[in-house]
Structure 1
Amino acid sequence: MQNTPKISVIIPTLNEEKLIVKTLEQFTPHLKEKYSIEIIISDGGSTDGTLSLLTPLVDKVVKAEEGVKQNIPQGRNAGAKAADGEFLYFLNADTMIQDADLFFSNSMKAFSLEWNFALTCRFHVFPDDIRLSDKMFHGFYNNYVRLLNAAGMGMGRGECQMVRSDIFRKVNGYNELLAAGEDYDLYRRIKKLGKGKIKFLNELLVYESPRRYRKFGYIKVFGDWTKNSFSVFFKNRSVSKEWEAVR
């Protein structure tokens, strides 16, 4: 890898010992070298074995101040501050890229067009955990996000958000006052810059753990997303005071 990475992959963690190794192992030495990638973990105060599993799989580890309860936007921003890449790729700790080579190749092609300020893609649950309800919901929601961006409204799920670092800093990153809806809020503010666009890359797919959907069900999860998004849009604040971690 070059001395100065081109892509900074930022992964916030909190007690993710069950999944973090699998997530990190997808970024092979060959892949990191080919696309000039650095991997940054931003840990919010894990008390399990997460931190002991990271070396030598990551390039940087940023830790929350001891005793300070950190929310997701704070964790992502802390990782971004440590990043040297021209492009910031925010991934959740429970995500797997379907085809990593295609993912980085096509996203970098999209970023070669200067008017693409940020990117998003399709999501689904891990293939070995899939149910009919997963197919129905994600089929609907992926098209919903695609249509919102086609209509000129900024939208992208926090499981994977790709942003030019200069644009990210221009909008001052994630709003740390939001316990939820910070992902929508970021892309909404980027879109307000007016000169660029948010590109939906339909050919790229990122898998996520179904753990939240299994615990709460799709009706509650979608309801929480919707309430927080509307509150962010109209009031610049989230309805949720805290986003419950599911492990």
Structure 2
Amino acid sequence: MISVIVPTYNEEENIASCLESLCNQTLPRTAYEIIVVDGNSKDGSREIAAKYADQVFVQTSKKVGGARNDGAMAAKGEIIATTDADCYLPPDWLERIERDFADHPDAVQIYGLVFPKEKGIKNMLSLWAANLFSRLGYWTHSVYYTLGCNTAFRREAFMEIGMYHTIDAGDDLEIARRARRVGRVVLDTRLKVGFSMRRYEQFGTLKSLWEWIYIVVKGGESDKYSYSKREYK
């Protein structure tokens, strides 16, 4: 079984479409479970999620990484897949993850690329650059840019390496470094998810990237910028 972990926070406008895409996978619905871990939303996120998910509960650990860890602790699957509440998951997403682990018995983590949910050349170019960074990092064995919206782990390895560190940004880069100590981290360029560009459209691409880089350089924590639990218009 595959356990899909979806962190949420005030996502009533997005969570239904995300979970609908997860419920319409090419794998049988009995082959996977959906676990929504909510950051104590003030809107109807949990009530909406309960219509689709197998489990919905409020997180007890800190930050997005902590929400993913809480979900993994409650999971039944041998594979832990993670995505975000504002993403779109193509119908073959879980089937491809299952196949990737079967094709790579030594892999402990599989990750993929992203495409913009919102239209526009600027969004396309932004994610083209992000995907290029992912490819170059993988090909050069330098930076494994394993976005939390499109990654999966063997549960045993995920627990062995200590799960996600609960930091503000860069946790998806950091966990790959630890995963590589116990097995292969594999990029599947055909494993793609629809990624929301709302952060970049509302706060600006350069500003958002600068804040992310600043926090990562500071070791994942910063009093100057807050990268998680943003309020969107």
Instruction: Give the TM-score of the pair, scaled to structure 2.
Output: 0.89
Q: CA deviation at 1:111?
A: 0.6
Identify which of 91, 95, 105 aligns with 1:105: 95
In 1, Cα distance between the equivalents of 2:68 and 2:170? Answer: 14
Distance 1:174 1:155, change over 3 A: same
- Give 3-state SS (helix, strand or coil) of 1:96's partner: coil
In 1, Cα distance between the equivalents of 2:16 and 2:123? Answer: 25
Instruction: Tell me whether 1:151 sits opposite 2:135 in the alignment.
Output: no
Identify which of 105, 110, 115 aligns with 1:114: 105
- Aligned residue identity for 1:189: R
Q: What is the match of residue 168 of structure 1?
A: 158
Instruction: Tell me whether 1:238 sits opposite 2:221 in the alignment.
Output: yes
Identify which of 54, 63, 87 aligns with 2:58: 63
Identify which of 71, 75, 85 aligns with 1:79: 71
Task: Render the CA deviation track for 1:76-133: whole Å, top value 9, x for unaligned.
Answer: 1111110111111111000002x322x222222211122211111111211xx22111
In 2, Cα distance between the equivalents of 1:238 and 1:201? Answer: 30
8 Å contact kept, 1:12–1:42? yes
Instruction: Tell me whether 1:9 sits opposite 2:4 in the alignment.
Output: yes
Task: Render the CA deviation track for 1:169-191: whole Å, top value 9, x for unaligned.
Answer: 01111112x11111111112212
Distance 1:53 1:143, change over 3 A: same
Q: CA deviation at 1:32?
A: 5.3
8 Å contact kept, 2:27–2:95? no
8 Å contact kept, 1:180–1:242? no
**Alignment gaps of 5+ in structure 1:** 1-5
Q: What is the match of residue 186 of structure 1?
A: 175
**Alignment gaps of 5+ in structure 2:** none
Q: CA deviation at 1:26?
A: 1.2
Q: What is the match of residue 3 of structure 1?
A: none
Q: In the comparison of the two structures, how many residue pairs are matched?
A: 228
- Give 3-state SS (helix, strand or coil) of 1:104's partner: helix
8 Å contact kept, 1:77–1:174? yes
Q: CA deviation at 1:134?
A: 1.1
In 2, Cα distance between the equivalents of 1:150 and 1:49? Answer: 42
- Give 3-state SS (helix, strand or coil) of 2:88's partner: strand
8 Å contact kept, 1:62–1:82? no
Aligned CA-pair RMSD? 2.0
Name the stretch that deviates more: 23-32 or 132-141. Answer: 23-32
Q: What is the match of residue 41 of structure 2?
A: 46
8 Å contact kept, 2:26–2:95? no
- Aligned residue identity for 1:119: I
Q: CA deviation at 1:142?
A: 0.3
Identity of aligned residues (%): 25
Q: CA deviation at 1:21?
A: 0.7
Q: CA deviation at 1:34?
A: 5.7
